[in-house]
Amino acid sequence: MSQIMSETKRKINSSIAEDNLLKAFELMCTAKALAELYEENKEVCAKYVHATSRGHEAIQLAVSMQLLPQDFLSAYYRDDSMLLGIGMTPYELMLQVLAKRDDPFSGGRTYYSHPSLKRDNMPKIPMQSSATGMQAIPTTGVAMGLQYLEKQGLSADFGDDKPIAVCSLGDACITEGEVAEAFQMAVLKKMPILYVVQDNEWDISANAKEIRAQDATEYAKGFKGLETRTIDGTDFEKSYNTVKEVIAIIRKERRPFLIHAKVPLLNHHTSGVRKEWYRDDLEEAQQRDPFPKFRNQLIISGFDIAELTEIEKQAKQKVADDYQKALAAEDPRPEDLFDYDFMPTPVTEEKGQREPAGKEKTVMVDSALFAIRELMTKHPECLLYGQDVGGRLGGVFREAATLAQTFGDHRVFNTPIQEAFIIGSTVGMSAVGCKPIVEVQFADYIWPGLNQLFTEVSRSCYLSNGKWPVSMILRVPIGAYGSGGPYHSSSVESVLANIRGIKICYPSTGADLKGLMKAAYYDPNPVVMLEHKGLYWSKIKGTEDAKTIEPDEDYIIPLGKARMVQEAIASTDKSSLTIITYGMGVYWAKNAAKEFAGQIEIVDLRTINPLDEATVFASVRKHGKCIVLTEEPYNNGFAQALAGRISKYCFESLDAPVEVIGSENLPAIPLNSTLETTMLPNASKVAKAIGELLNY
């Protein structure tokens, strides 16, 4: 193409540079050729589901061709033109459509055009899921991180080309509540982000008239400060100039915009849901094809028809050649399956002083406060946000007291009641180099955020082949205490334990909370810190040992290392046992064990994932009898799963079935204190079970 350009003399009637127009045409030809090749070879290419950008090419190229390497992009599953526009090759995209080992995004693990990219010469693309709205929060988290680093003086100096985030969305997905959370935070904090809504008026088979009360432009009016541009997304020149104007404003004024681009959907929803099955507007949609429109505009502007024809021919040949190369590329190997579930942590051994001399015991809630204060003092990229953690209150349990006053409102701040945003924004924050510590006010409130935790946070490392691990801490006050009732008392660790890709801590003492908080900070993976609010101040009789001497600043505990609370000598007459527990269970076990002097060993797991199986199994084999004690209802939970593992791996050492003790199997913890006590385990119930098991 460069030779053709150099030999051609013309007068171009366009505000866009000639090189850019020809490059856009070449890329549009390439995208069209890709879609046609996939359809011609659907028996091969449709083995793994894909979608293409046919009809959307103009707006996608208008955006992607103007992004810089310092920018961040969220490209959704129909955005192959956008990926071509930032510099990806047809071969690289085909490696993904065929799920090959060298697929640059995920190594064959995720769908076509579900990108994750971290190259120095291209915009950065953090991992994202299937993009039906979920990408809006992580990408807005990117913008929030860019803003934070700028305000703290921690970002590189790009002059007038300050980095921005771009979030690509289909029109149907913006009815998702999580998209509203993203828009709300973007305008509240005036973030440097561009939302590009590609409106083809189709969900899958559902048409716009069925599923939305207003279009994207009308919807955006509900978010004060979200300025919009509504354009014909099939017109490349109009799209390019609009994007150019908007990006320039965002780079300078650092505020959010939304471009609503109206486009046709010319290809299938996906290769598995074909357009002819349900659509009656195909002929009408074809009249809006951006490809002939752009080609005619170029001819009218002075480009030679033969030159354009040659570009199209070369693009088709390039796509055909790359397809043959991609077919021959290596498939993933079986052993590749096990790579990148987590990135290695630097914290592998306990260090520092757990009980420095000359200190008095500290309540558990203050141990967390002191840990975060030390981390924020040492690391300017560290920040804390969540509901009510700001300066006025410092958290409903005062777990963040004084932090806002010490570090300022930019580093410690309140969020709206948006658990999905609190959790999902950490994906973007981590991607730009921040280290967010975020808080959900109660375990009962975590449910709106599980979509982000499961779909975005936990899978980012694995589905990006290790490029984008999410380094964050999610603090969750948990457990029943003081008649909190059904919406402030739940235990949720079994649900979390079924989310692969996150680590889960559940400390039972202040020293462990501080040491684990430090380890979680330096861990490159997402860590959920479950903090039992009944242990925060040791106000419950029998929990006094949750108060500990505050460890020194260097104290750190590797995740996956259990604590031996008390040991017992293995008896020859089978009159000893071990209790495997965590959280409040540690204190139920300790108080119950007082009735059985020297007979009860207690292991505090401290972390649910990773799990210290070696310590657990050794203790069980030593005593031959075991109780797994939890605050959760005992059916279908983590404790039962652990009991099953113990039964399997310690079978020959067991002298009795593994006993599981937990709460009653009821939907919620009642408000009334008598009912609450009846539902939960306690020392008396544990002592009764110990006696029965010892006499088995």
Taking the C-alpha atoms of residue 433 and residue 141, their distance in angstroms, rounded to an integer, is: 11
CB 473 within 8 A of CB 518: no
* 3-state secondary structure (DSSP) of residue 688: helix
SS3 of 331-376: the string is CCCHHHHHCCCCCCCCCCCCECCCCCCCCCEECHHHHHHHHHHHHH
Residue in 555, 549, 559, 557 with CA at minimum distance from that of residue 528: 559
CA distances 681 to 180, 491, 630, 633, 664, Å, are 41, 13, 8, 9, 8
d(CA 597, CA 412): 47
Q: How many CB atoms lie within 10 A of CB 357?
A: 6
For the question of residue 379 being annotated catalytic, the response is no
CA dist., res. 242 & res. 236, Å (int): 10
SS3 394: coil
Residue labelled with tokens 């020859």: 572
Non-local (6+) Cβ contacts of 648 within 8 A are none
- How far, in Å, are 170, 171, 183, 211, 216 from residue 175 at the CA level? 10, 8, 12, 9, 9
C-beta neighbour count of 360 within 10 angstroms: 7
In 263-332, beta strands by DSSP E: none
Rounded Cα distance between 617 and 614, Å, is 5
Task: For 167, list phi and psi in degrees, rounded to 5.
Answer: -115, 115
Residues 76, 81, 83, CA angle at the centre, nearest 5°? Answer: 65
Q: What is the DSSP letter of 69?
A: T
The catalytic residue among 56, 268, 488, 623 is: 488
Cα radius of gyration rounded to whole Å, the chain: 29
CB-CB contact of 628 with 646 (8 Å): yes
What backbone phi and psi angles, to 5 degrees, belong to 336?
A: -65, -25
| Cα–Cα dist 257/183, whole Å | 10
| CA dist., res. 110 & res. 464, Å (int) | 9
From CA 230, how far away is CA 242, in angstroms rounded? 9
**CA quadruple 673, 677, 678, 679: dihedral positive or negative?**
positive
Exposure string over 136-170, b if 16+ CB within 10 A, otherwise e: bbbbbbbbbbbbbbeeeeebeeeeeebbbbbbbbb
Residues known to be catalytic:
488
